[in-house]
Amino acid sequence: MRRSGRTILCLSLAATCGALAPRSSAEEPSLARRLDAQRAVLRQLQTDLVQVQEEATSHRRVEQDAAHRLVEASNRASLIAHALGEYARAESALGRDLAIASAREARLHRDIERREETVARRVRVLYMRGRMHPFRRALLASSLTHWLAARQYFATLNRRDEIDIEHLQHDRRDADSLKIIYREQRAMIETLAVDQRWQREKLLVAQREAERLLAAAKRNRQLAERAAAELEEQTQASQEKIADYLAALPRSDATGENRFGRGTPPLPTPDLAAEKGRLPWPVRGQVTGRFGRHRDAATRTWTRNRGIDIRVRRGSQVAAVADGQAVRVDWIRGYGTFIIISHGRNYYTLYAHLGAVTVRRDDQVRRGQAIGVSGDSGTLSEAKVHFELLSGHEALDPLEWLARKAGPS
């Protein structure tokens, strides 16, 4: 009898442990956070697109200088192309999240059906046996140990019933929340499809205008020089914005790890300083713009290049020079579409004038991994890659860090 009592007690405790096992519901909040983050990115893109279109309209009204119109037309086409790339990536990410939400919703419905059947079965048993059944079973115990075990067993059953009902209610709430997320994702995908068609039409118009103005600039050297000077002014202003952005990022801790954003894991990195002179090139090509301060012979103005410019064929693969984490993927005047990668210990690399990107913010990247392809965004039609290496917001000469033997062709 004692053995029987211990057996019942062990079973009751096992049932308690099973009933109280934690349930994972992290998927739904994660989906909701990603949806909110995607909304924020798209809102900023819409703001930028509206601003550049309003500027273009304003410039046409006041008949601005042709050089200014050329730069703005190039910027507008570049930003629209960048936005289309972001829309495509957002649509792809939303599609994946939609599949996750659908699978999660299907699992929840199966769980709800199973729990409903369990609760219904228990209700039927209690109805058939009557409310006094547990007490009658306890009174039939042949010893105190057996009676205590029976009492614990029925208490556990009651607690398990309560937990099953709580879980059932929780699953129903989760299912309702997922339906809302599912609808929002579906609506965003449909909206993105419409926006992409609209922006493609605008891109064609912007590209034709930029090509027309560029053709005129090629026939007029003075016009080309003024356009280049204006683009350089925009680049200098953008450099200050990027420096301010880097200064605002969380600094590395003593182990060289950077932390970016809530929920982002620490970033383990090698010591980039130890790789000085041995880093691989981001792309193979001819260096047409070197680091430092230079005087333009045509415009007789001084400019400062915070990195190097590498002339390449459009569509050439651009690779990360070291392990790290993408902390910004964006578009800005003078740089076009660009990526900033953190390598820990406050070292960063910047890759600009990209035609397309293959990584997103917070993605972990590896040395030699393709992060995008070359283009002419932020330039006046010349395909090139602008590469910077930064310590904090201080620019370093990339040619002192890149491998000499594997240099440009």
| Tens of pLDDT, residues 75-110 | 888 888 888 888 888 888 878 877 877 777 777 777
Q: Is the dihedral of CA 77, 83, 87, 89 positive or negative?
A: positive
296 or 359, higher pLDDT: 359
Give the DSSP letter string of 26-94: -HHHHHHHHHHHHHHHHHHHHHHHHHHHHHHHHHHHTT--HHHHHHHHHHHHHHHHHHHHHHHHHHHHH
Per the CB < 8 A criterion, the answer to whether 12 and 153 are in contact is yes
Residue-averaged pLDDT of the chain: 76
pLDDT bin (cut points 50, 70, 90) of residue 158 is low
Report percent pLDDT > 70 for the chain. 68
When mean pLDDT is compared across 11-20, 113-122, 151-160, 368-377, the lowest value belongs to 11-20
The string of pLDDT tens digits covering residues 181-214 is: 777 777 877 877 888 888 888 888 888 888 888 8
Output the CA angle 155-156-161, nearest 5 degrees: 100
DSSP state, residue 285? S
pLDDT of residue 342: 93
Q: CA-based Rg of the chain, rounded to a whole angstrom?
A: 31
The answer to whether residue 390 scores a pLDDT higher than 80 is: yes
Number of Cβ atoms within 10 Å of the Cβ of 369? 15
pLDDT of residue 59: 56
Report percent pLDDT > 90 for the chain. 22
Q: Is the dihedral of CA 61, 66, 68, 71 positive or negative?
A: positive
Summary count for the chain: helices (H), strands (E): 6, 12
The string of pLDDT tens digits covering residues 8-35 is: 334 333 333 343 343 445 555 677 777 7
Residue whose structure tokens are 């939609």: 98
How many residues make up the chain in this entry? 409
The segment with the largest mean pLDDT, out of 36-40, 148-152, 347-351, is: 347-351
pLDDT of residue 338: 96
Which pTM value belongs to this model?
0.70
By CB neighbour count within 10 A (0-12 exposed, 13-18 middle, 19+ buried), where does 295 fall? exposed
For the chain, helix, strand, coil in percent to 5 are 55, 15, 25
Which residues are CB-neighbours of 341 under 8 A, at least 6 positions away? 320, 322, 324, 325, 326, 327, 348, 349, 350, 351, 365, 371
pLDDT of residue 117: 75
pLDDT of residue 125: 65
Which residues are CB-neighbours of 175 under 8 A, at least 6 positions away? 105, 108, 109, 112
Q: Which domains does the chain have, with CATH numbers?
A: 2-218 (no CATH), 235-400 (2.70.70.10)
Amino acid at 162: E
pLDDT of residue 144: 62
379 or 34, higher pLDDT: 379
Tell me how far apart the alpha carbons of residues 207 and 231 are, in angstroms, rounded to a whole number.
Answer: 17
pLDDT of residue 23: 43
The string of pLDDT tens digits covering residues 303-336 is: 788 999 999 999 999 999 999 999 999 999 999 9
